[in-house]
Structure 1
Amino acid sequence: MATIAANGTTLYYELRGSGPPVVLISGAPGDAGFWPELADLLADEFTVLSYDRRAHSRSPRPENWVTTSIDEHADDTAALLEALDLAPAVAWGHSGGGLVLTSLALRRPDVLRGAVFHEPAFFTVTPAGRAVVEGLQGTVADAMARGGPPLAMELFLRWADGDEVYESLDPAFRDRMLGDGEVLFGMEMELSLSYLPTPDQLGGLAVPSVVLAGADNRDPDAVLHGLYGAAQWTAVGLGAPLVETPGAHVPQITHPRELAALIRPILTRLAASAPVDA
């Protein structure tokens, strides 16, 4: 198991392939287990880095660590890239990882060549997203009362990824994520819902960017239609293209081959971009 010291913590990471570097940032929970099949498919052309975010799964919780921020997670990503001598890289932030990527692109553009915002979890920018958050908060509160963080995490994953996806997950991966509930619901959820860049910040972001959104989530009746709206909002703010991916929120699990074929030329183009000064 590979770990490395970065930004005052220890991060578990996985490294595949060779070529231009691409770092994959998981959302909630921050486990690298969302990416192996897609990473393997891309490793013939890219150096693909994935990792467990601070205090998630195989990245241990730092001693006396009781609070965090999106900026702290972004600093972890920058430090990890620098520790592995992979900066500047293309960064792909999925869901809550899209928030981490936003902070990284705004504050440390020097470690990036490009950014892929994959249904970034800016739920509050649309009425549909705000309504979904209210329902989710009620579900999580009820689950915490009935079964604590593991049950809350299970229901969260079933909501975000779907029952069929949840049941298909590798049991070890699923068990790791069920153990991440204390950090997600106790420290990260509220700060994630409150993190939102201003239009001026998005408009001034100099890192070449692409936004991804699940084709199934375009349907107004989809559970995560609010994330499709968040992706549209992000693309408009960045002046970046919006590219539809197959399936819903986790095509890296449900449609890895189709996603790899779709994203490969995008990564190639972004990897050829010049880094931006901080």
Structure 2
Amino acid sequence: MRRLLIAVLAVLAVLAALIVVNAVVVGGESKPARAAEGGRVLELPAGDLNVRDVGPRDAPAIVLVHCYTCSLRYWQELEPLLARDRRVISVDLLGHGDSEKPADADAYSMEHQADAVAEALDALDAPPALAVGQSLGGPVVTALAERHPERVRGLVVMDSAASRDSVDLPLTARLARAPVIGPLLKRVAPDGVVREELSKAFAEGYEVPDEFVADVQGMTFTSFAESAKAGNRYGDEGTLDERIAATGLPLTVIFGAEDRIVDPADAEAFRDVPGARVVVIPAIGHTPQLEAPARSARLVRQLDRQTLPATDNAPASS
């Protein structure tokens, strides 16, 4: 009996050591950027970004910033609806998609992400843009407006929480970000589990593409965990509606009535932003640009026209 106990303890000690070693190795992991999805890599002081730049180069600009664990692929339905007569710039945030995934946790702050987007717009010689952010992209474009006001002429926020209290993350997602155990779960999570978690970002019945699963699996543990922590820290320093109100920029807020991640009632907080337009779309979830692309495009275009001088405001298709 004593030998059995010793053997069991030895096995547990080895497993514990492996978990700790895995956490150390994964915690220091980084990945370089690569050009993908029709994009190009911009080597920037803040980090290397994969960026897609489509539409007429001399047209008014719209910049699209995706959600947590996502990529510029999430704009694949909306982008062509805007790019007929607008310059549309889609960005893979640091740690996401095909952009660089630094080992430094500070690279994932909303402020640093916003600086990287501003550097990309500078490198592309883009005019002041209508900045569109979905979920985590909402705080990023808000930080962009706060830190680089000359770069932004208006904001569209899709299913971004005004307060972190309105976010409902499943237990598996919380465990996957935890120290020690999180790196192990991130490494061994099968595609089926990832797909099930991603399905919560859509209304019931949406088929999650393999590419979206690959976006999550391609993240390092540092980018996966620190991006979430950074979003929380940004929210702790002020609610998103208050931050946007302080910028004084025109605002459109789009929510899905069936959002299973952010309580749709949170959209009401944005009605306190002076001049804000708040639209809740029935029968869709957390990702309007994929679940209702035509409606989303119309709403983006309406604010786009509102924020342009009459001389630059060429007729735009709805």
TM interval, shorter chain, is: 0.7 to 0.9
SS in 1 for 2:227: helix
- 1:108 and 2:145 matched: no
Query: 2:261: which partner in 1?
Result: 224
SS in 2 for 1:37: coil
**C-alpha distance 268-157 of structure 1, shift in aligned 2 (>3 A):** same
- Normalization by structure 2: what TM-score? 0.72
Measured against aligned partners, the alpha-carbon deviations of 1:91-150 in whole angstroms (never above 9, x if no partner) come to 00110000111211122111011111112134425xxx25x2475654646994874257
Partner of residue 249 from structure 1, selected from 278, 282, 286: 286
Q: Quick check: 1:99–1:120 contact (8 Å CA) kept in 2?
A: yes
- 1:7 and 2:45 matched: yes
1:51-130 maps to which residues of 2 (within 5 A)? Answer: 51-62=91-102, 65-67=104-106, 68-125=108-165, 129=166
Identical-residue share of aligned pairs (%): 25
Partner of residue 157 from structure 1, selected from 198, 205, 210: 198
**C-alpha distance 66-258 of structure 1, shift in aligned 2 (>3 A):** closer
- Paired amino acid for 1:76: A
Q: Which runs of 5+ in 1 are unaligned?
A: 218-222, 274-278
Work out the CA distance in 2 between the residues paired with 1:224 and 1:117: 15
- Paired amino acid for 2:279: V
- Normalization by structure 1: what TM-score? 0.81
Give the drift of 1:225.
5.0
Work out the CA distance in 1 between the residues paired with 2:292 and 2:243: 33
Work out the CA distance in 2 between the residues paired with 1:104 and 1:90: 11
Query: 1:267: which partner in 2?
Result: 304
Q: Give the aligned CA root-mean-square deviation in angstroms.
A: 2.9
Partner of residue 234 from structure 1, selected from 251, 265, 270: 270
- Paired amino acid for 1:158: S
Q: Quick check: 1:153–1:177 contact (8 Å CA) kept in 2?
A: yes
Give the drift of 1:14.
0.9
Give the drift of 1:4.
0.8
- Paired amino acid for 1:92: V
Query: 2:230: which partner in 1?
Result: 191
Q: Quick check: 1:23–1:89 contact (8 Å CA) kept in 2?
A: yes
Q: Quick check: 1:153–1:181 contact (8 Å CA) kept in 2?
A: no
**C-alpha distance 153-65 of structure 1, shift in aligned 2 (>3 A):** farther
Q: How many residues align?
A: 261
Q: Which stretch of structure 1 is more off in the superposition, 39-48 or 135-144?
A: 135-144
**C-alpha distance 139-15 of structure 1, shift in aligned 2 (>3 A):** same
Q: Which runs of 5+ in 2 are unaligned?
A: 1-34, 311-318
SS in 2 for 1:212: strand
CA radius of gyration, larger in: 2
**C-alpha distance 239-168 of structure 1, shift in aligned 2 (>3 A):** same
Q: Which has the higher helix share?
A: 1
Measured against aligned partners, the alpha-carbon deviations of 1:204-249 in whole angstroms (never above 9, x if no partner) come to 22222211111334xxxxx2352x2333213424551212235221
